[in-house]
């Protein structure tokens, strides 16, 4: 299953992986959003359950945040304040902290997909097959904004727009518009194992 970064939440990834599918989602890179070292600069030691900073200082577990489902690792304040890389690593004076999700095993699995050809192929297909349809639905069919509140109404609007898009492709595939039929006549189009009967007015 593919999706953009917005869909790459821990909850979505867990649901997809638990259902027996591979979650091909790009993960947000928070390291590019801060002026200090990102979490990728810290190496995790699974045997000792600690992180090591670029200067080999150990970050031990400080606390668990069950509401956010993350574990906080922190380096000693004295070691951080005396470090020559302090300005590049943290803006605080209490020691650098690193967060690790309780469900990090799923995120690591997804990161492992990123280097595979299957992941790259799926994302290329998404760019060609899926993204243009989303853009069409937003720009031409009003999907940029929902007209009614509620999940059921949102689903109805989405399904109606998708139906309209599919009908356009059906008509294009059957050559409608290039061959004229008499007003009110019925024309039968073959479509797979079924036939579509259309009335022209």
Q: What is the mean pLDDT of residues 97-121?
A: 94
For the chain, percent of residues with pLDDT exceeding 90: 58
Domain ranges of the chain: 5-113, 146-199
pLDDT for 28 equals: 80
- Helix ranges, the chain (H): 10-18, 77-81, 86-89, 104-113, 117-125, 131-141, 151-173
pLDDT for 179 equals: 55
Q: What is the mean pLDDT of residues 17-45?
A: 87
pLDDT for 194 equals: 47
Average pLDDT over the chain reads 86
**Which of 75-89, 116-130, 165-179 has the highest average model confidence (pLDDT)?**
75-89
Helix, strand, coil: what percent of the chain each, to 5? 45, 20, 35
User: 185: pLDDT confidence band, cut at 50, 70 and 90?
Assistant: very low
Contacts of 32 (CB under 8 A, 6+ apart): 38
Residues 124-164: pLDDT tens digits? Answer: 998 888 888 888 888 888 888 888 899 999 999 999 999 99
Q: Which residue has the higher pLDDT, 20 or 181?
A: 20
Could you tell me if 74 and 60 are in contact, meaning their C-beta atoms sit under 8 angstroms apart?
Answer: yes
User: 6: pLDDT confidence band, cut at 50, 70 and 90?
Assistant: confident
pLDDT for 178 equals: 61
Partnered with residue 103 across adjacent β-strands are none
């Amino acid at each position: 299953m593919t999706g953009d970064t917005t869909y790459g939440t821990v909850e979505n990834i867990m649901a997809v992986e638990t259902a027996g599918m591979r979650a091909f989602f790009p993960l947000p890179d928070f390291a590019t959003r801060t002026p200090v070292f990102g979490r990728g600069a810290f190496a995790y030691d699974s045997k000792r359950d600690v992180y090591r900073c670029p200067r080999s200082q150990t970050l031990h577990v400080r606390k668990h945040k069950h509401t956010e489902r993350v574990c906080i690792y922190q380096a000693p304040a004295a070691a951080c304040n005396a470090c020559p890389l302090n300005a590049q690593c943290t803006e605080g004076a209490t020691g650098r902290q690193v967060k690790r999700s309780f469900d990090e095993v799923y995120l690591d699995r997804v990161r492992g997909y990123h280097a595979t050809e299957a992941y790259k192929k799926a994302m290329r297909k998404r760019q060609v097959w899926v993204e243009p349809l989303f853009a069409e639905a937003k720009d031409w069919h009003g999907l940029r904004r929902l007209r009614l509140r509620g999940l059921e109404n949102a689903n109805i609007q989405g399904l109606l727009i998708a139906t309209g898009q599919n009908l356009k492709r059906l008509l294009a595939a059957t050559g409608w518009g290039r061959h004229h039929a008499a007003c009110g006549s019925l024309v039968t189009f073959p479509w797979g194992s079924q036939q579509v009967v259309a009335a022209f007015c």
